[in-house]
Amino acid sequence: MRKLLVIGIGAGNPDHMTVQAITGLNRADVLFIPDKGARKNDLADLRREICDRFVTNPASRRVEFDVPVRAEPTSSYRSTVDDWHEAIAAIYEGLIRDEITGDGCGAFLIWGDPSLYDSALRILERVRLRGNVAFDLEVIPGITAIQALAASHKTALNRIGDSVLVTTGRRLAEEGMPENAGSAVVLLDGKCAFTTLPDQDLFIQWGAYLGTPDEIIISGRLGDVGEEIKKRREEARKEKGWIMDTYLLRKQE
């Protein structure tokens, strides 16, 4: 049966690769490299750099594929994402069927960790449920943006005896800072939801392009640095054509 590896490659620095991830890359006959278009070519380039640096298997080959652009959210965010995932599932199915031999091994290289706000595993489950191609699945964890953020700010995510919530910008804008968590890590925030929070005394530790030479980090009282973060974020996004960022919000003790 076909073997499929889903490998976490870290938050943007090739040095984030674990020994397990490197071993996984070299087990694969074919490595799948997603291409999200010219504006996000850096993301494909990092995967190529990782392969150039760590893959020593002479039988390994790379297959690049285009990722469809997600439509702008309609009144139903879940419906928009569902349609997008269905389109990607069709692509994944074709890659597995056509590029991996009956007893061969393929690998998807996933930014960060496959289990944290990434949809590859859910999409592959769609492929499995279609029943057109069978495969065994193995997941190899990677360093997350959350770990990289804490490392760059030289901080612990939790305070003693306190809880940490991991959420999204969308949920933060809808629900505000949670009452039952002293700290919140926010991912997937394209609209700077922190600017909508009434409590400007929150402490924020923000980072973009974490672990890379382009890394930007800013920290301080939200009321003092919020607008600076928003400005730097927009400048960086325009310059590079894309941005990946996350931040930690913490209530004052």
CATH number of the domain bearing residue 18: 3.40.1010.10
Residue 229 phi/psi, 5-degree rounding, is -60, -45
In this model, does residue 17 exceed pLDDT 90?
yes
The residue segments making up the domain with residue 70 are 2-140
- 110 plus 205 within the same structural domain: no
Closest by CA position to 203, among listed 253, 158, 160: 253
With pLDDT > 70 as the criterion, what percentage of the chain qualifies?
Answer: 94
| pLDDT at position 75 | 57
Q: How many domains does the chain have?
A: 2
Distances (CA, A) of 59 to 23, 48, 253: 14, 16, 56
In this model, does residue 72 exceed pLDDT 80?
no
Last residue of one domain, picked from the residues 95, 119, 140 = 140
| Cβ contact 164:157 at 8 Å | yes
Our CA dihedral for 144, 147, 150, 156, rounded to 10 degrees, sits at: 140
Tell me the H-state helices in 28-119.
41-54, 77-99
**In the β-sheet with 30-35, what is the strand arrangement from edge to edge?**
61-66, 30-35, 105-110, 2-8, 135-140
Mean pLDDT of the region 90-108: 95
- What Rg do the C-alpha atoms of the chain give, in angstroms? 19
pLDDT band at 84 (very low <50, low <70, confident <90, very high): confident
